[in-house]
């Protein structure tokens, strides 16, 4: 029998992805300060936050393995946060038009008293040249205010791209399932 599993996130996107592995799990809200460190690289920020989320929830839930994940979008090596509103989303998409953006999606699997397991996916998203009116239409239609990079690739956001380059297509949504399954197997889980 598999040990208890907790997703250290309240993200509906991550919950939907983890459902695909057909393992019973519950969700726990991590209490972690997500402020980037001074000059912290986007990939380092993503792994630090994923680990902090997993370990914070694991400390409150002894005996359970906890999945923590975080995603940081980077344009020209600088992190892009979640836009939070319409104007910021339009500004992000305008800045990314015709450019490549790197999404660092980090994963940590933690259990109190055990070493934390980690993985990270690097996804390159190549945006096509976007016109101001199509950016505004997209933002109004999908309202991607809670998404790094101001788009939902699992929805209408896919029309904004020229290409996606990644080893794991689920990473861009927020939880790299290939790495998740690998870490769970390492922790002793039997997957369906």
Strand, helix or coil for residue 82:
coil
Catalytic entry in 70, 87, 133, 168 = 70
* DSSP per-residue letters across 148-177: TTS--TTTGGGGGEEEEE-S-TTGGGT--H
C-alpha 30/C-alpha 66 separation (Å) is 10
Q: Determine contact, residues 152/142, Cβ cutoff 8 Å.
A: yes
How is residue 23 annotated by DSSP? -
Q: Is 70 a catalytic residue?
A: yes
Residues noted as catalytic: 70
């Amino acid at each position: 029998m598999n040990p208890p599993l907790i997703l250290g996130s309240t993200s509906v996107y991550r919950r939907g992805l983890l459902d695909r592995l057909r393992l019973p799990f519950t969700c726990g809200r991590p209490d972690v300060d997500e402020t980037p460190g001074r000059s912290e690289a986007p990939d380092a920020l993503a792994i630090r936050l994923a680990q902090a989320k997993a370990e914070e929830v694991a400390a409150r839930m002894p005996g359970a393995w906890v999945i923590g994940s975080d995603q940081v979008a980077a344009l020209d090596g600088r992190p892009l946060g979640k836009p939070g509103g319409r104007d910021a989303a339009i500004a992000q998409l305008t800045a990314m038009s015709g450019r490549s953006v790197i999404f660092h999606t980090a994963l940590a699997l933690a259990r109190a008293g055990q070493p934390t397991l980690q993985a990270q996916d690097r996804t390159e998203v190549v945006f096509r040249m976007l016109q101001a009116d199509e950016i505004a239409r997209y933002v109004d239609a999908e309202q991607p205010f809670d998404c790094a990079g101001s788009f939902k690739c699992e929805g209408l956001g896919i029309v904004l791209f020229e290409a996606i380059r990644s080893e794991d297509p689920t990473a861009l949504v927020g939880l790299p399932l290939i790495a998740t399954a690998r870490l769970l197997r390492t922790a002793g889980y039997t997957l369906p």
